[in-house]
Amino acid sequence: MHKTTVIENIHSRKSVRKYTEEKVSDEDLLILVKAGMAAPTGKNRQPWHFITVVSRETLDIMAEELPYAKMLHNVSAAIVVCGDVERSPYWFLDCSVASQNILLAAEASGFGAVWTAAYPYEDRMGVVRKCLNLPDNIMPLNVIPVGYPAGAEKPKDKWDETKLHKDKW
Amino acid sequence: MHKTTVIENIHSRKSVRKYTEEKVSDEDLLILVKAGMAAPTGKNRQPWHFITVVSRETLDIMAEELPYAKMLHNVSAAIVVCGDVERSPYWFLDCSVASQNILLAAEASGFGAVWTAAYPYEDRMGVVRKCLNLPDNIMPLNVIPVGYPAGAEKPKDKWDETKLHKDKW
């Protein structure tokens, strides 16, 4: 039962870019960040930082200045997952894993969310860095808008048996 | 209920390095790989490949030759998550996200698993490459042993409120 629920949630997660006007609560955002902070990290370095953005002005500026994040105009909140390059040179692996925890927790909570990339694109990272006043050692991986889904998106079936290999290539 | 189950599973996931002698079935391994293949990928490139290793000989050779994967001696199966660098130069982000799906599905299934790193360590990648006969464009991210937990490990509490920021750094 437990197994089925978790695995169904993994398969029902989708990238959601259209939202209703309902706002996401601070309590719910905290649940998502706590899920992110439960991820495994290389050598247990936990090189991450999470910035919850609810400022209308900041969301709108990022929507304007980032090429694939226009939907930030239509959400009340976003989570920016960042890594401290001084804490781990491989922060982007740990922060990717934490981001997936957030996306899965969002799906389970009835939210729509989507990973919009900052890293590895210098221009996008610069926008986020400026908007959020990030120190030089803090690298933004992505901006994840969080809202209630308008219901347009469905999960993709990505199963491809040619990508499964047994014992050797 | 659904939400609680998924979020509890995220928090109860832990790195498991000690296993009982019980074997993991092929059906269960397939469920884990399918969970991996349900992850989001940048530009939907799906640059991943998954190798399920059940050969006792291969598991034992990797256990001997990888510095932090001795526990491969004690499992009946492992999943190696790989990326095709020709399909995406950022394969390691997508494959990290897929790996977390596998680890979460393993937790939900009652298995113990742990990410043992191959990438970015050239020596470890070389061992895996040789053992699994990987083409030059296929990069191994990690080796994930899968077994039934002996019960020794508990999840870490990584919550650290200094890593949560509101609106700006």
Residue A92's domain is classified under what CATH number? 3.40.109.10
Look at residue A41 and tell me if it is in a domain.
yes
Asked if the structure places residue B36 within a domain, the reply is: yes
Q: How far is B123 from chain A (nearest CA, A)?
A: 17
What would the two tokens of residue B134 be? 């990987």
- E strand or H helix that includes residue B108: helix B91-108
How high does pLDDT run on average in chain A? 97
Contact across the interface for B49 and A117, Cβ inside 8 Å: no
Contacts of A169 in chain B (CB under 8 A): 49, 51, 132-135, 138
Distance CA B105, CA A150 (A): 28
Task: Provide the residue range defining the domain that includes B55.
Answer: 18-149
Q: Which of B97, B158, B165 sits opposite A100 (nearest CB)?
A: B97
Cis status of the peptide bond prior to B120, with omega within 30 of 0: yes
**Cα angle for residues B167, A99, B29 (degrees, 5° grid):** 165
Return the SS3 of A147: strand
CA nearest A112: which of A150, A142, A139, A166? Answer: A150
Would you state the pLDDT for residue A59? 98
pLDDT of residue A152: 83
The closest CB to that of B54, out of A53, A167, A169, belongs to: A167
> Given this model, what pLDDT does residue B164 score?
98
How far apart CA B18 and CA B12 sit, in angstroms, is 16
- B74 Cβ partners below 8 Å, 6+ apart? B18, B19, B145, B147
8 Å CB contact of B167 and A104: no
pLDDT of residue A106: 98
Give the number of domains in chain A. 1
In sequence order, the β-bridge partners of residue A52 are: A79, B166
Residues with Cβ within 8 Å of B65's Cβ and at least 6 positions away in sequence, in order, are: B127, B131
ipTM above 0.90, yes or no: yes
Q: Report the residue of A15, A37, A161 to disrupt the B interface, i.e. the one with the largest count of B CBs within 10 Å.
A: A37
Q: Say if the Cβ atoms of A156 and B44 lie within 8 Å.
A: yes
Is B164 contained in some domain? no
Q: How far apart are CA A82 and CA A132, in angstroms?
A: 11
Residue in chain B closest to A97 (alpha carbons) equals: B97
Which residue of chain A is at minimal alpha-carbon distance from B35?
A10
> Which residues, other chains included, contact B64 with Cβ-Cβ below 8 Å and sequence gap of 6+?
none
On whether residue B92 sits in a domain, the answer given is yes
Kindly state the tokens that stand for A85.
């390059």
Task: Determine the pLDDT at residue B55.
Answer: 98
Residue B32 domain flag: yes
User: In terms of pTM, does the model score above 0.90?
Assistant: yes
Write the residue in B40, B107, B117 that is nearest to A42 by C-beta: B117
CB atoms within 10 A of CB A25: 11
Give residue-wise pLDDT tens across range A38-52: 999 999 999 999 999
Give B22-63 pLDDT, tens digit per residue: 999 999 999 999 999 999 999 999 999 999 999 999 999 999
What is the model's pLDDT at position B152? 83
Contact at CB, B5 and A7, closer than 8 angstroms: no
Checking if the pLDDT of A1 tops 80, the result is: no
Query: What is the Cα–Cα distance from A45 to B5, expressed in whole angstroms?
Result: 27
Nearest-Cα residue of chain B relative to residue A155 = B38
A9 lies in a domain? no
Nearest-Cα distance to chain A for B45, in Å, is 10
pLDDT tens figures, A48-74: 999 999 999 999 999 999 999 999 999
Cβ distance B11 to A38 less than 8 Å, yes or no, reads yes
Q: Name the stretches of chain B with pLDDT < 70.
A: 1
Burial of B15 (0-12, 13-18, 19+ CB in 10 A): middle
Residue B68 is assigned to a structural domain of this protein: yes
DSSP three-state, residue A97: helix
Helical axes B122-132 vs B56-65, angle rounded to 10°: 160
Q: Per-residue pLDDT tens for A105-118? A: 999 999 999 999 99
Which candidate from B10, B31, B101 shows the least CB-CB separation from A105?
B10
